Chain A
Amino acid sequence: DQQVKQNSPSLSVQEGRISILNCDYTNSMFDYFLWYKKYPAEGPTFLISISSIKDKNEDGRFTVFLNKSAKHLSLHIVPSQPGDSAVYFCAASGNNAGNMLTFGGGTRLMVKP
């Protein structure tokens, strides 16, 4: 059973437009959520995180939104740049969920110039 799901395996957007990546979770024990970006042959790079006590966190071009009642989070990238092209993973964690990261399957983002 996948506790964290990213239902879109890929997403293509035009440079300068908004990219929206989505993630759903099922385990109500998760109370901390993270987004990672991964290039081929490299380890994931931490982007941004959000605690369940918040519904929004912003860092430059990246904003993460959390809807706890829907068990849904999303990552917005504005404006999108070609260098943002990578695989994006959402991950969930929590003290009552083992404290390790549980990852979604990833979404491949392609930003076209």
Chain B
Amino acid sequence: KAGVTQTPRYLIKTRGQQVTLSCSPISGHRSVSWYQQTPGQGLQFLFEYFSETQRNKGNFPGRFSGRQFSNSRSEMNVSTLELGDSALYLCASREWRGTYEQYFGPGTRLTVT
């Protein structure tokens, strides 16, 4: 099976802009989670989608949002970008919410200038 794919891999944006990141889960996986990795805060949970519904949300401001489509693909959006949003954004999928093992994509490296 193909792994989790994320596009784009690298992105440079300016403060105040918005950005949309995309994630395609492993075939058959219905749950998609997003994580942010920064040097200072480590790996932090953003949110999880299952059956097109947000099931869980981490401690991030409302500028961070996401959605999931009927084919389980997911997008996350960050509006009004701040310098501190520069990070590696990771998408992870799992078969369903009852399993714990999550499989990660390669990530999108976002740089905000």
Contacts and interface: CB of A to CB of B under 8 A. Distances in A.
B102 A98 contact: no
Contacts of A34: 100-101
A106 B73 CA distance: 29
A42 B55 CA distance: 26
B77 to A, nearest CB: 19
Interface residues of A, number: 21
A74 interface: no
B81 interface: no
B95 to A, nearest CB: 13
Q: Classify the interface of chain B: helix, strand, loop or mixed.
A: strand
B102 A46 contact: yes
Contact of A102 (B45, B104, B109): B45
Given A100-B33, A103-B43, A106-B42, A46 B101 contact: yes
B4 interface: yes
A70 interface: no
Interface residues of B, number: 23
A31 to B, nearest CB: 9
Interface in B30-49: 33, 35, 42-45, 48
Interface string B81-112: 00000000010100001001111111101000
Which 7 interchain pairs have the tightest Cβ spacing? A43-B104, A103-B43, A100-B45, A32-B100, A44-B104, A93-B100, A105-B42
Interface of B: 4, 33, 35, 42-45, 48, 55-56, 58, 90, 92, 97, 100-107, 109
